[in-house]
Amino acid sequence: MSLLQPKTLKPMSTSEAIAYAVKQANVDVIAAYPITPQTIIVERLSEYVNNGELDAEYVAVESEHSAMSACVAASLTGARVFTSTASQGLALMHEVLYVASGLRCPIVMAIANRALSAPINIHCDHSDVMGSRDAGWVHIFVENAQQAYDRIFQAFRLAEDNDILLPVGVNLDGFFLSHAVEGVATISDSEAALFLPPRKAKYYIDSSMPMTFGAFALPDWYFEIKYQVVEAMEKVPKKLAEVEEAYYKMTGRMYGHVGAYRTEDADVCLICAGSAAATAKFSVARMREKGIKAGLLSIRLFRPFPVESILPHVKDAKALIVMDRAMSPGAPSAPIGQDIKTMLYDAGLNIPVANFVYGLGGRDISAAEFESITTKVIEDLKAGRPIERGVKYWGVRI
C-alpha cells in the first residue's frame, strides 16, 4: 500500500536517520560513550529519551568498554539494546565484542567507521571494523542515509530472531555518511511497531528461571559452545533475505547482500564497501558511456561474507578490482581482498584480482580515480600483461 503513497522525504543526516530509526524501534536500553564521528547519533537519542519521546534507559557510561559491557548485560536481561561507536571506541570494546556474540546477545550497534591511531585522525576508513571482523558479529555496510535508516529495523529483526541471536554492526562511513544530509523516506511508528514488535527473549536473566550466564568452559565444552556462533552465522544470509522481503512488502525498498551495477557483461568488476560505492557507480556509468565494460559490486553484508550472492556477479569477469579502505600490514591481501580471493579459490576460479588500499584517514576518492584504476587493468588485459598481484596503495605519496 505504502508503495503507492507519495514519498515525502525528510532531510536528515545519516546519524539522525539512525537515531530516528532506533527511536521507532522502541529500544529499551542505550549504553554509549561519545566519540567522533558517531556522537550525533547518541546526542539525538539522549534528546528523545529526555524529551519523553522514547521510553528507554540511557546509560551514559564512562568508556566504550563499559558501554558494550552494559549492553551485553542488558541484552541478557531481555532488553532491546542499541549502542554506537567508532574507531578507538570499537577497539576499546574489542574483548567485549566476543562476549556479546559468545553469549548470543542481539545488540545492534552503529559504527561510524573511522581511522585508528596513530597518528590520530578522526576521518573515515574501515580499519576499526576490519580489526573486529572475527568477533562473531554480523556486519552490514550502508551506502547512504536511507539504507542506514532501513537497515536499523532489519538489523534488530535479524539479530533478535531466535535462530540467529547474534549482535549486528551497522557500518556507516564516518563524516562521508554520518554528517551528510539526504532526503530519507521514513516509515510510520505503527509500521515500525508492526515490523518490530517488542523483543521476546527465550532465555533471560530473571529469578523466575535462575540460570547461569557466562560460565567457565574448559576444553571439554568450549569448542562446542563457541561453534554455535558459526552455526548461527551460517543462517544469516537466508534469514536476512526473509527480513528484507518483509521490509520490502512494507516499504518497496530492498538492498540485498550485495549491490550490483552492470555486472552482467562486465569485463572488469570493481568491488568495494561503504560510501565509495556511490562514487564507483557514477564512475562505472561514465565508463560505460565510453564503451568501457566495467561493473560494480558493493559488499553490503560483510559478515557473514555472502559468497553465494557475490559469485554469480563476478564469475564471468576477466579481472576483479577489490578496493579496501583498511590495511592488513604484512598480509598477502587487504581484508576484503582476502575474502574475495578465498572465495574464488574455493569456487575453482582463477580470476586475477587487483587489490588496492585507498582512502585511509578520510582521504577522498573520486570517480576519475576509479576510472583510471579500471582502465589501467583493462589495458593490461588487452595487452596480455599479467594483472599485478598483491596489495597496492592507491594515491599514497612515497
Partner 1 sequence: MMSVSEIKSIKELYGLDLIAPGHRACAGCGALVGVRQILLASKRPLIVVNATSCLEVTSTPYPQTMWKVPWVHLLFENAAAAASGIEAALKVLSRKYGRQEHYIIAFGGDGGTFDIGIQALSGALERGHRFLYVCYDNEAYMNTGIQRSGATPLGAATTTSPVGARIVGKQQQKKDLMEIVVAHKIPYAATASPSHWKDLVNKVRKAQSYDGPSFIHLIATCTRGWYFDPSESIKVARLAVETRYWPLYEVENGRYRITNPVPNPKPLEEFLKVQRRLSHLLLPENADLLEKLKAYVNERWERLNKLSTCFA
Partner 2 sequence: MAEVEKIILPGGIIDRPGSTLDYKTGTWRVKKPVVDLNKCTGCLLCWIYCPEPAIRKRDDGKIEFDYDYCKGCGICSVECPTKAIKMEEE
Query: Which residue ranges make up the site for partner 1 (CB under 8 A)?
Result: 28-29, 31, 55-57, 59-63, 65-67, 69-79, 81, 95-96, 99, 103, 198, 205-218, 221, 225
Nearer to partner 2, 214 or 312 (CB): 214
100 vs 76: CA distance, rounded Å: 9
First and final C-alpha spacing in the chain: 57
361 vs 126: CA distance, rounded Å: 9
Rg of the chain taking only CA atoms, in angstroms: 21
Q: Does 225 bind partner 2 (CB under 8 A)?
A: yes
CB of 74 to partner 1, least distance (A): 4
CB of 218 to partner 1, least distance (A): 7
Helix (H, G, I), strand (E, B) or coil at 324: strand
Report the alpha-carbon angle 137-173-127, nearest 5.
60
226 burial type by CB count under 10 A (0-12 exposed, 13-18 middle, 19+ buried): middle
Q: Does 213 bind partner 2 (CB under 8 A)?
A: yes
Cβ neighbours of 10 (radius 10 Å):
14
69 touches which of partner 1, partner 2, none (CB within 5 to 8 A by kind)? partner 1
CB of 274 to partner 2, least distance (A): 31
Nearer to partner 1, 29 or 317 (CB): 29
CB of 226 to partner 2, least distance (A): 9
394 burial type by CB count under 10 A (0-12 exposed, 13-18 middle, 19+ buried): middle
Binding partner 2 by CB under 8 A: which of 95, 183, 198, 221? Answer: 221
Neighbouring-strand partners of residue 298: 259, 272
Q: Which residues contact 287 (CB under 8 A, 6 or more apart)?
A: 294, 371, 374, 375
Which element (helix H / strand E) includes 272? strand 268-272
Contact 89, 41 (CB under 8 A): no
Q: Does 102 bind partner 2 (CB under 8 A)?
A: yes
Nearer to partner 1, 31 or 321 (CB): 31
203 touches which of partner 2, partner 1, none (CB within 5 to 8 A by kind)? partner 2
User: Which 164-183 residues touch partner 2, going by CB under 8 A?
Assistant: 165
CB of 95 to partner 1, least distance (A): 6
CB of 75 to partner 2, least distance (A): 11
Q: Does 119 bind partner 2 (CB under 8 A)?
A: no
155 vs 298: CA distance, rounded Å: 19
For residue 96, the 8-state DSSP code is: H
Report the alpha-carbon angle 199-168-215, nearest 5.
75
Name which of 77, 76, 93 is nearest 38 in CA terms: 93
| β-strands 391-393, 353-357 pairing | parallel
CB of 69 to partner 2, least distance (A): 15
Nearer to partner 2, 1 or 215 (CB): 215
CB of 135 to partner 2, least distance (A): 14
Helix (H, G, I), strand (E, B) or coil at 356: strand
165 touches which of partner 2, partner 1, none (CB within 5 to 8 A by kind)? partner 2
Nearer to partner 2, 136 or 306 (CB): 136
CB of 213 to partner 1, least distance (A): 4
231 touches which of partner 2, partner 1, none (CB within 5 to 8 A by kind)? none
For residues 115-129, one letter each, b for 16 or more C-beta atoms within 10 angstroms of the residue's C-beta and e for the rest, the string is: bbeeeebbbbbbbbb
73 touches which of partner 1, partner 2, none (CB within 5 to 8 A by kind)? partner 1
Nearer to partner 1, 216 or 289 (CB): 216
In the complex, which residues of this chain contact partner 2 (CB under 8 A)?
102-105, 165, 202-203, 209-215, 217, 220-221, 224-225, 228
